[in-house]
């Protein structure tokens, strides 16, 4: 499937590198193969991205998703995607972002951060951090976009602190991933269970949708500062 137009980095939406490294690996473990090949990056507002996408149901009976503990995290990955229009900027944006992230990590985690320069109709900077724990959980900072009044240092700090809050609270499903997993869970016949830091409005909406469009039921239980969502 070829997808043309739109943005790989846009406001209020996960970037494609988030989907590739956080969402889709869990889909594959459940038995649904989704692969995307980004041919052209696109930044908000003009977009212009070009992407190839393939979807294959590998297992007839999808494997339940049970993510209730994060496990150990040692390595944090990430990408800084920056458009070629900003090459004339002499302030070394990628290095400043990286230094800021490392300052927040305080040497507790190894950082593998790639820098990619790309062509795009609109100039922009996109940042995403992610990690896979030793028990197979995938968490992320989410997607952060550079803005005119947002310094590179602040951008790196925001992303680092966002992923660190999941690590500190033993959260295996980040706030952005929870609502993305729910439609898949609705098609899994056996019970699933996930642990989240908060039940976001997007998550609540998707939970109500699967209850209305499928026979799946769910329950939410709060334990200290976290929530467990059970799918029966």
Residue 221 burial (10 A CB sphere; 0-12, 13-18, 19+): exposed
In a domain, 98, yes or no: yes
The percent of residues above 70 in pLDDT, for the chain, comes to 100
Q: Are residues 106 and 177 in the same domain?
A: no
Return the structure tokens found at 87.
């090459």
Q: Which of 53, 55, 44, 54 is nearest to 6 (CA)?
A: 44
In a domain, 2, yes or no: no
Average pLDDT over residues 181-196: 94
Average pLDDT over residues 171-191: 94
In a domain, 192, yes or no: yes
Return the structure tokens found at 61.
């009976």
Omega before 45 cis (within 30°)?
Answer: yes
Residue positions counted in the chain:
232
Return the structure tokens found at 104.
């927040």
Domain total of the chain: 2
Distance CA 206, CA 185 (A): 11
CATH code, domain with 104: 3.30.360.20
Q: Which of 98, 132, 100 is nearest to 115 (CA)?
A: 98
172 band by pLDDT with thresholds 50, 70 and 90: very high
Question: Are 165 and 192 contacting, i.e. CB atoms less than 8 angstroms apart?
Answer: no
CATH code, domain with 182: 3.30.1370
Average pLDDT over residues 154-170: 98
Q: Please tell me the pTM assigned to this model.
A: 0.93
Per-residue model confidence (pLDDT) at position 5 = 82
- Evaluate if residue 54 carries a pLDDT over 80: yes
214 band by pLDDT with thresholds 50, 70 and 90: confident
In a domain, 79, yes or no: yes
Domain end position, chosen among 121, 150, 168: 168
Residue 193 structural domain: 171-232
Q: Are residues 189 and 156 in the same domain?
A: no
- Helix or strand holding residue 223 (H, E): strand 218-223
Q: Which of 3, 8, 2, 1 is nearest to 120 (CA)?
A: 8
In a domain, 21, yes or no: no
CA distances from 21 to 16, 89, 153, 177 (A): 9, 29, 24, 11
Average pLDDT over residues 188-209: 95
Q: Are residues 81 and 164 in the same domain?
A: yes
What phi, psi does 66 have (nearest 5°)? -125, 100
pLDDT single digits (tens) 65-117: 999 999 999 999 999 999 999 988 778 999 999 999 999 999 999 999 999 99
DSSP 8-state secondary structure symbol assigned to residue 86: G
């Amino acid at each position: 499937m070829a997808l043309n137009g739109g943005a790989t980095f846009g406001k209020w939406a996960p970037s494609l590198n988030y989907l590739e490294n956080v969402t889709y690996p869990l889909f594959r473990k459940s038995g649904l193969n989704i692969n995307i090949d980004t041919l052209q990056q696109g930044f908000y507002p003009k977009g212009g991205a070009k992407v190839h996408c393939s979807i294959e149901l590998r297992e007839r009976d999808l494997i339940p998703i049970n993510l209730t503990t994060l496990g150990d995290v040692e390595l944090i990955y990430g990408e800084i995607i920056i458009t070629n229009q900003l090459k004339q900027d002499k302030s070394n944006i990628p290095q400043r972002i990286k230094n800021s992230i490392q300052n927040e990590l305080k040497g507790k985690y190894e950082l593998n951060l790639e820098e990619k320069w790309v062509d795009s109709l609109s100039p922009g900077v996109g940042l995403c951090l992610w990690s896979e724990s030793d028990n197979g959980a995938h968490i992320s900072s989410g997607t952060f976009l550079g803005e005119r009044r947002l310094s590179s240092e602040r951008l790196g700090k925001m992303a680092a602190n966002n992923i660190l809050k999941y690590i500190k609270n033993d959260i295996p499903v980040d706030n952005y991933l929870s609502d993305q997993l729910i439609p898949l869970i609705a098609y899994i016949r056996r019970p699933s269970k996930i642990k989240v830091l908060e039940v976001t409005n997007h998550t609540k909406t998707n939970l109500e949708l699967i209850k209305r469009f499928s026979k799946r039921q769910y329950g939410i239980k709060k334990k200290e500062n976290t929530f467990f969502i059970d799918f029966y």
